[in-house]
Structure 1
Amino acid sequence: MITKKVADALRNQLKNELESSYLYLSMSAWAAGKGLKGFSNWFYVQAKEEMYHFFKFYHYLLDQGEKVELPAVAKPKSEFSSPLEAMRETLQHEQFITKSINELVDVALSEKDHATNAFLQWFISEQVEEEASVGEILDQLELIGENGNGIFMIDKELGQRTFVTPTDLAL
């Protein structure tokens, strides 16, 4: 059983994960509208990953006997000046999520909730990977600037990203 403080913090993270998915879906639609199919694909896969994260929290709360209420989410930004701006905002958003996960760990530790702390360690590792991945793309975009050929090459590479449906969630 988890404390009210931990449960409330986890429920708040449900909103963060939904808003992340919604933001990346909006970015995917923006990129598709600009003819950037690879960027669109990358953001679409990112949206799916965020929903997977949402469901990990969702099931954890249920497994702990907690009530899950779906939060309202804010409308995400839908216009970006360039792929570079979209990726800069992606990195900024992932840094926000990292901060929120770290704060969840702090709450779990303050409440001496070792099970929740153990559960959250997967997310800690995931956020290191997320920020590194986005940082790499951002470095490439900053290196090429507004070069259309470079954007085309990165777009082609990002089109190769796939989402493998995890098998660890019982729906």
Structure 2
Amino acid sequence: MALSDKVTSVLNEQINKELYSAYLYLTFADYYEDRGLKGFANWYMIQVQEERDHALALRRYLLDNDFTPKMAAIAEPDLTFDNDLAPLEAGLEHEEYITASIHHCYEVAQGEKDIRTMQMLDWYVKEQGEEETNARDNITNMKLFGSDPKGLFDLDREYQTRTYVALTALPM
């Protein structure tokens, strides 16, 4: 069964949103790099890689279902930050936006009775739950420990230990 125009349209748009996420998180990493917080920069560089993986997995899904993705321009992030908590809060807000977008993709697939796409999107729904939890945890940690130089140093060191784990297969 071929994917409907509605499903391919929202999935193609989601690719752009995932690539924008990577672009946005790159600016967060740059902010922390400029501040000398290499652990926080590392956290967001890994986010960049994960968001790119999410886009590429959606691309592969479309290609495997006989639809050629159409790449759109990626908007320029326009956020500036006054403190170390601000990127973390912006990150949570963005993850909530992406969650809503994934839910919309799911609703479109459901409306089209596209069970295969719904199954694929189940992975993204679960992933977004994890992304929002991580974002909230980062905010909590910053609020608890970030105002103290030693606490911020320890938190930054902890975030330096995060490692990238490549998406090894298309989420299904």
Work out whether the TM-score is over 0.5.
yes
Letter in 1 for 2:69: V
Q: Is residue 145–residue 155 contact of structure 2 (8 Å, CA) maintained in 1?
A: no
Cα deviation for residue 79 of structure 1 reads 3.0
Cα deviation for residue 146 of structure 1 reads 2.4
The equivalent residue for 2:169 is 168
Identity across the alignment (%) = 37
The equivalent residue for 2:78 is 77
- How far apart are the structure 1 equivalents of 2:143 and 2:112? 43
Aligned residues: 169
Query: C-alpha offsets along residues 22-76 of structure 1, whole Å, 9 cap, x if unaligned?
Result: 0011111111111010000000000000000000100001011012111101111
The gaps in structure 1 that reach 5 residues or longer are none
TM-score, normalised to structure 1, is 0.95
The 3-state SS of whatever aligns with 1:83 is coil
The equivalent residue for 1:152 is 153
- How far apart are the structure 1 equivalents of 2:113 and 2:81? 43
- How far apart are the structure 2 equivalents of 1:128 and 1:45? 17
1:123 aligns with 2:99: no
Letter in 2 for 1:27: F
- How far apart are the structure 2 equivalents of 1:110 and 1:166? 28
- How far apart are the structure 1 equivalents of 2:84 and 2:135? 12
- What is the root-mean-square deviation in Å for CA atoms of aligned residues? 1.2
- How far apart are the structure 2 equivalents of 1:95 and 1:151? 26
Q: Is residue 50–residue 166 contact of structure 2 (8 Å, CA) maintained in 1?
A: no
- How far apart are the structure 2 equivalents of 1:3 and 1:124? 21
TM-score, normalised to structure 2, is 0.94
